Structure 1
Amino acid sequence: MTVTEFAKFKVLPPFTCSSPEILEFLADVGKKQYAFSGYPLRFYQDVNSPDAVYLVSGWDTVEDHGKWSATDASRKVIERCMLEKLVAIEGLAHLEVEFPSLPGEWKGIAHVVVEKEGNPVADANVEESFKNATHQIYVARDQTSPCGEVFQLAVLKDDVTGLEGKWDGVANFLAVN
Structure 2
Amino acid sequence: MQVRDQWTRQRDRDHAIWEVTYASGCTLSSYPHPRSAVLAQEPSIVLPKLLPITEFASLQFKASRSLSEPAILALFQKLFAWQSECSGYPLLFFTNPKAPSEIHLITGWESVEAHEAWIAGERNQELLRVFAPFINILGMVHLDIDFERIPNDAESMICLKFGEGVGGQVEREIGGHLHWAVVGQNLQDDCHDVCIFMQQDGTGLDIEPTLHMELQRVHL
Quickly name the TM-score band, shorter chain normalised.
Answer: 0.5 to 0.7
Q: Which residue of 1 aligns with 2:188?
A: 123
Identity percentage over the alignment? 22
The structure showing larger relative contact order (alpha-carbon pairs under 8 Å, at least 6 residues apart) is: 1
Residues 100 and 136 from structure 1, CA distance in 2 versus in 1: closer, same or farther, beyond 3 angstroms? Answer: closer
Tell me, in whole angstroms, the C-alpha distance in 2 between the residues paired with 1:61 and 1:37.
10
Q: Which residue of 2 aligns with 1:94?
A: 142
Tell me, in whole angstroms, the C-alpha distance in 1 between the residues paired with 2:87 and 2:217.
23
Once the two structures are superposed, residues 107-132 of structure 1 have per-residue CA deviations (whole angstroms, 9 ceiling, x without a partner) of: x7655554421264143698xxx96x
User: Are 2:130 and 1:80 equivalent residues in the alignment?
Assistant: yes
User: Are 2:72 and 1:22 equivalent residues in the alignment?
Assistant: yes
Structure 1 residue 137: Cα displacement:
4.3
SS in structure 2 at match of 1:50: strand
Retained in 1: the 8 A contact 2:160–2:210? Answer: no
Q: Which residue of 1 aligns with 2:114?
A: 64
Q: Which deviates further from its counterpart, 72-81 or 108-117? A: 108-117
Structure 1 residue 38: Cα displacement:
0.7
Structure 1 residue 53: Cα displacement:
0.3
Retained in 2: the 8 A contact 1:91–1:125? Answer: no
Tell me, in whole angstroms, the C-alpha distance in 1 between the residues paired with 2:119 and 2:211.
34
Structure 1 residue 63: Cα displacement:
0.5
Once the two structures are superposed, residues 73-116 of structure 1 have per-residue CA deviations (whole angstroms, 9 ceiling, x without a partner) of: 0100001112xx1111110011111101214143x765555442
Tell me, in whole angstroms, the C-alpha distance in 2 between the residues paired with 1:159 and 1:70.
30
Query: More helix per residue: 1 or 2?
Result: 1
Aligned amino acid, residue 24 of structure 1? A
Aligned amino acid, residue 54 of structure 1? H
Structure 1 residue 24: Cα displacement:
1.3
Aligned amino acid, residue 67 of structure 1? A
Tell me, in whole angstroms, the C-alpha distance in 1 between the residues paired with 2:135 and 2:63.
9
CA RMSD, 1 decimal: 3.3
Q: Which residue of 2 aligns with 1:53?
A: 103
Tell me, in whole angstroms, the C-alpha distance in 2 between the residues paired with 1:139 and 1:77.
31
User: Are 2:205 and 1:174 equivalent residues in the alignment?
Assistant: no
Tell me, in whole angstroms, the C-alpha distance in 2 between the residues paired with 1:125 and 1:74.
26
Give the aligned length.
145
Retained in 1: the 8 A contact 2:160–2:209? Answer: no
Retained in 1: the 8 A contact 2:93–2:106? Answer: yes
Aligned amino acid, residue 116 of structure 1? G
Tell me, in whole angstroms, the C-alpha distance in 2 between the residues paired with 1:7 and 1:39.
15
Query: More strand per residue: 1 or 2?
Result: 2
TM-score by length of 2: 0.55
Once the two structures are superposed, residues 18-48 of structure 1 have per-residue CA deviations (whole angstroms, 9 ceiling, x without a partner) of: 2222221111111110111111111111121
Segments of structure 2 that go 5 or more residues without pairing to the other structure are: 1-50, 168-184, 201-207
Structure 1 residue 17: Cα displacement:
3.1
Aligned amino acid, residue 149 of structure 2? S
Aligned amino acid, residue 68 of structure 1? W
